[in-house]
Structure formats: structure tokens, C-alpha cells
Amino acid sequence: MALRSSAPPVVKRAGRRLSTGLGTATAGLRVSPGFLLVGAQRCGTTSLYRALRQHPGVRSAVFHKGVNYFDVNYHRGHRWYLGHFPMRPLRGGAHAAPLAFDASGYYMWHPHAPARIIRDLPRVRIVVMVRDPVERAYSAYQHELARGFESESFERALALEDGRVEPELARMLTDESYQSQTHRHQAYRRRGHYAEQLTPFLEGLGRDHVHVLESERFFADPEPEFARLLAFLGLPAVMPATFDRYNARARAPLAESLRAELAAHFAPHDDRLGEILGAPPGWRT
């Protein structure tokens, strides 16, 4: 792992091309993902991903945290996708195979990804992390600002959001091959409409195939939350050495007037999420 991390970018790219080519050629011998970590963005998915990777019965995709197949790489085909996963064991049957998974914070938000997932992996389990949508929106803004995808103030970016995102979403719905940086990186309020994004998975796969974790509960007391996730996945309760937090960013406090405005906006969406969870989300109580 250290050798791979220290390799020059050109060497990494060549290694990925070689690995992907070999993987595609041997796709029929690969493990299909048993679960997907689909988001939501800026809710702690990287931390959960790293905790899951430490479990002895779990394997992630090779070279990437996420393959981004069902959102931006779907045109590459299912064999290309399977080529990113470990080989099936030669002996021991299906029970000896690791539980493979893929993670992308864009799967939950991309307008075509849920239907693609349901069609191609009808028995897959879905794992979702949610967070106070006010905090998520502000965190996403700071993240995109630092990465160069945003240049406006947060208040201005919120005012621009509908005008930016709606035309792009309309084009994506019309042209399934169209990819939009605006849709992916400048939807701050809309990506906090969790119930709306969960509904296709619930309807297409069934409630027993979808597990929702609240970020605040996970980071406050990770072991019981992680144990419940492992039970959902049918895995033994093996805890990682540590539960670390990744990709957190320091930021200035959010203005209380804007926080109140956003909280009011999200209230009906939180109520819908509470109906799915069977209890109001923690940030409402």
C-alpha cells in the first residue's frame, strides 16, 4: 500500500489501466459486490468506508474508494465494473468468498444510478449515511469551494442553486450519457432531501435491503452503530482497531439567520425521513 501511494501519477495510471484490462478479461471469475455505500456526500462515508475495509470478511474495489460505475462510468459496461473486484476463491464455494463492496457518494444523488443499481444488482444491499442536512449543505459548500468547484459565498450559492442545477438535471434526464459537474458539485440543499433519494432504493429493493446510519450517532458512539451495520450485512461483529474521522474541514460558523432558514427548508424533508426511519432523525430531537 505504501509503495502504491508513493508511486508517480503516470505509474499509478499505467497500473490502473493494466489492472482494469486484466479485470475485464477475468470478469466472470470476480466477486460481484454484495453491498453498496451510496452516500450521502459529506456525511462520513469515507470514515465508514475505511472502517469497513478493516473487517476480515469485506473487500473493497481495487485501486479506488469507489468505481463510480453506476453514475459516471456506466457506459464502460458491466464486465469493466466487475473487473475492479477480487477474484472468487478457487475452493470453498460461495461461502468462502469475501463480501465485496463499492462506495460512491454520488450514487444516491445521480438521477439514473438507483435504477441502474436495481436493474443490475437486484439482490444488493444498500448502505446510506445521513447527517443534519444544514450541516451537510454547509460542509459540502466548503468542500467544493476548497476544490475549486465553487467561487460564490454560501448564501449566494444557495440563491443560485435552482437556476444552476435544474437545467442540468433536465438535460441529464433527457440524455442519459450527459455528465454535469454543476449537478454533482453545486447542489447543496437538494442533496439533503434524503427521503426523496432513498425512495427508489426502498421501492426497488425492499426495506430489508436498505440500512440507514445517522452520522452524528455513528461518530458519537461508533461501536453499536457499526455492530448493527454488520448484522444487516450478515457479518460477524468484528470491530476495527480505531474509528477515525476523515475529510473533516475546519470552517467559520454558519450565520444563525441562514441556519434557521435552512432548517425551515429541510423540516418537511426531515419529517419524511423520520417516517422511513420510524423515528425523527437525531438532529431534530
Q: Given a cut of 60, is residue 1 above it in pLDDT?
A: no
More confident residue, 250 or 140: 140
DSSP annotation of 282 reads G
Band (279; pLDDT cuts 50, 70, 90): very high
CB atoms within 10 A of CB 171: 13
| Residue 163 burial (10 A CB sphere; 0-12, 13-18, 19+) | exposed
Residue 71's closest CA among 114, 30, 33?
114
What are 129's strand-pairing partners?
Answer: 213
Angle at 75 between CA 148 and CA 44, to 5 degrees: 45
Domain 19-241+254-284 has CATH 3.30.300.180: no
Q: Per-residue pLDDT averaged across 135-148, rounded?
A: 96
Q: What cell numbers appear for 103 in the block?
A: 462506495
Residue 34's closest CA among 74, 77, 88, 72?
88
Gyration radius of the chain over CA positions: 19
Average pLDDT value for the chain? 90
Distance CA 136, CA 133 (A): 5
Question: Of 101-115, 145-159, 181-195, 239-253, which gets the smallest average pLDDT?
Answer: 239-253
pLDDT the model gives residue 273: 98
More confident residue, 14 or 20: 20
pLDDT the model gives residue 11: 44
pLDDT the model gives residue 4: 46
Band (29; pLDDT cuts 50, 70, 90): confident
pLDDT the model gives residue 65: 73
Q: Per-residue pLDDT averaged across 159-172, rounded?
A: 98
Please give the torsion angle defined by the CA atoms of residues 99, 88, 240 and 15, in that order, rounded to the nearest 10 degrees. Answer: -120
pLDDT the model gives residue 2: 41
Q: Given a cut of 90, is residue 19 above it in pLDDT?
A: no
Each residue's pLDDT tens digit, 64-121 = 677 999 999 999 999 999 999 988 887 655 456 789 999 999 999 999 999 999 999 9
Residue 142's closest CA among 247, 72, 245?
247
Domain limits, the chain = 19-241+254-284
Please give the torsion angle defined by the CA atoms of residues 41, 78, 167 and 264, in that order, rounded to the nearest 10 degrees. Answer: -30
Q: What cell numbers appear for 87 in the block?
A: 477474484
Residue type, 118: I
Question: Of 88-97, 166-175, 213-222, which gets the smallest average pLDDT?
Answer: 88-97
Residue 187 · residue 172 · CB < 8 Å? no
Q: Per-residue pLDDT averaged across 123-148, rounded?
A: 97
Handedness of CA 163, 167, 173, 177 (dihedral sign): negative
Q: What cell numbers appear for 11 in the block?
A: 505509474
Number of helices followed by number of strands (H, E) in the chain: 12, 5
Q: What cell numbers appear for 262 in the block?
A: 435552512
